[in-house]
Amino acid sequence: MSRLRHLRELFLQGDPSIYYLTDFTLPTEIGALRTLRRLELLNLPVDFPEWIANLTDLRYLMVRGTDVREVPDWIVRLKKLHTLRVENCDLQSLPSTLRQMDNLRHLGLCHTPLLPSLSPEQLPRHLKSLDVLNSGCYQRADLWQLKQTIRGMSINPNPDAMEWRERPFAPPGPGVIPLPVVSPKDV
């Protein structure tokens, strides 16, 4: 790994056959790549490796199609992180420290059907985009309210889009009144 000490981007994608390996782990030496700015872990049978906390120059982190169920509290130590994408997994919780991530601008939570709704108070103050497509964490009314609360933030799916559909398995949060779905023929 010493020859890779100036590496800026690392993309690791697993083959489906490794899911049958019960002892699969990523090398902890990756945590010594201090100049790494972008890390993508795709389709790997892993949880959040703790050595990611050592990658203090990291700006972009994608963990997709993994065994992740929660984002650890130490994620706040990644002070330069501006994009966090935890997608296509059984994510069930985000850390309470997420709000403290002042440089986080883009949060991707696509295809995370088990994640509960987040209040605006839980999201980073300077967040510019939130992607919850095919996620269980928001109903249309929740997203519309969130968009009104955090002006200028881009939300996917757009709660104002006419083709947007409610997620049938996500119960509305307290005090949320589901809005009727409008189709173009009704307009």
**Percentage above 70 pLDDT, the chain:** 83
Give 150 or 69, the one with higher predicted confidence.
Answer: 69
Closest C-alpha to 120, from 152, 77, 78, 150: 150
Q: How far apart are CA 27 and CA 16, in angstroms?
A: 19
Per the model's pLDDT, the better-predicted residue between 85 and 19 turns out to be 85
- Residues near 165 by Cβ (< 8 Å), separated by ≥ 6? 181
**DSSP 8-state secondary structure symbol assigned to residue 30:** G
pTM: 0.81
Answer for the pair 72, 98: CB distance below 8 angstroms, yes or no.
no
Give the tens place of pLDDT for each residue, 75-123. Answer: 999 999 999 999 999 999 999 899 999 999 999 999 998 888 888 888 8
Domains and CATH numbers, the chain: 2-182 (3.80.10.10)
Higher pLDDT pick, 159 / 180: 159
Give percent helix, percent strand, percent coil of the chain, each to the nearest 5: 25, 15, 60
Distances (CA, A) of 98 to 65, 73, 91: 21, 8, 15
